[in-house]
Amino acid sequence: MSETMDRYTASYDGVIKQEFELEDGVMHAITTQPTEDIILNRNAELRKNPGVIKDLEVDGETFGRLLCTIPEIMFTKAIKDGYQLRCPDADIRSKELNRFLRSPEGKLCLVQA
């Protein structure tokens, strides 16, 4: 167990909270997103009733469908884990998004099963 532990909140913008924990002379960064559970719970509810999701339309033209909602903290972690979600090449970026959505974390972000 730790001899000394201090926690400092460095920044909080209402979406992303960063804290630093000093434990036995070692500094640990802890990043959380208070809205993460709200987003993931909403995704789970939408998966239970996929009929509530409608195609996106403008002037009668269908141009897309809501596939997922990814909390920012999970998006950032996915990039750190090696998913190329910001790749300039759209084909690679699309393949990487699909690869992420097949992962256990990514499946939580899906709004349609």
User: What are the tens digits of pLDDT across the range 34-85?
Assistant: 788 889 999 999 888 867 777 777 787 777 778 899 998 899 999 999 999 9
pLDDT at 79: 96
Residue with the larger pLDDT of the pair 7 and 27: 27
Instruction: Please state whether 74 falls in left (phi above 0), alpha (psi between -120 and 50) or beta.
Output: alpha
**Strands 26-32 and 56-58: what pairing?**
unpaired
Q: Is the dihedral of CA 108, 32, 78, 23 positive or negative?
A: negative
**How high does pLDDT run on average in the chain?**
83
Token pair listed for 104:
């256990």
Q: Virtual CA dihedral for 12, 14, 15, 19, nearest 10 degrees?
A: 20
Token pair listed for 102:
């097949």
Rounded to an integer, what distance in angstroms lies between the CA atom of residue 85 and that of residue 25?
A: 35
Provide the CA 32 distance to its chain's centre, in angstroms: 11
List, in sequence order, the alpha helices (H) in the chain. Answer: 36-48, 72-80, 90-101, 104-109
